[in-house]
Amino acid sequence: HHVGILISGRGSNMAALVEASRSSDCPYEVVLVASDKPAAPGLAWAADNGIATFAKSPKGMAKAEYEAAIDAALREARVQTIALAGYMRLLSDAFVARWRGRIVNIHPSLLPKYKGLDTHARAIAAGDTKAGASVHIVTEELDGGAVLGQAEVQIHRDDTPETLAARVLEEEHRLYPKVLAEFVTR
Ligand code: GRF
């Protein structure tokens, strides 16, 4: 099963997905890593690890035109499922409709709590005792599609958004490959 991953930055979840895909019983293969930020560190990692990459900044382009270029790259690579991994751009309704039910995302909160940005700061400010990450289907509603899997961590009294993010990220790296493998064989 061919997976294409969209990133904008560090790409640690992308790397976790690629690393898991190397196990002989993994049901998916990462055939393309694409980024809207040509300088994304994750792109260099993917290229160094033998994965085809596609980099294109949307600057100066209409959104539809930009997404058509991404779509073409994904189709060229015969991508069947798109995994968003720190992709910081909203996909248009038209793009989501074109890939309906075939785009997944990882979000660093226990959805439906804390959609959007600054999830860890918001969880700490609310006095929550646990936080976590969710893998979900992408729909037109931001962070709103069906949840496929979650991982929880405890929030410690002395946590800052940064220390909490690091604890959640470790769980993300376990959760995403597991849920993606289940998703492509569903
Ligand atoms: C992760 O926390 C992910 O949940 C969120 O963005 C961050 C991306 O980190 N959507 P990385 O690029 O995978 O390292």
Domain holding 119, by residue range, is 2-184
Residue reference for tokens 């994750």: 42
SS3 42: helix
Burial of 112 (0-12, 13-18, 19+ CB in 10 A): exposed
Q: What is the CATH number of the domain that holds 141?
A: 3.40.50.170
What is the rounded distance in angstroms from the CA atom of residue 179 to the CA atom of residue 186? 10
Does 86 contact ligand 1 (Cβ within 6 A)?
Answer: yes
Nearest CA to 120 among 95, 156, 66, 94? 156
Name the domain count of the chain: 1
Residues involved in catalysis:
107
Confidence at residue 96, expressed as pLDDT on a 0 to 100 scale: 98
Q: What angle do CA 30, 74, 141 make, to 5 degrees?
A: 95
pTM: 0.97
Per-residue pLDDT tens over the stretch 155-164: 999 999 999 9
Ligand 1 midpoint to CA 155 (Å)? 19
Does 9 contact ligand 1 (Cβ within 6 A)?
Answer: yes
Per-residue pLDDT tens over the stretch 83-131: 999 999 999 999 999 999 999 999 999 999 999 999 999 999 999 999 9
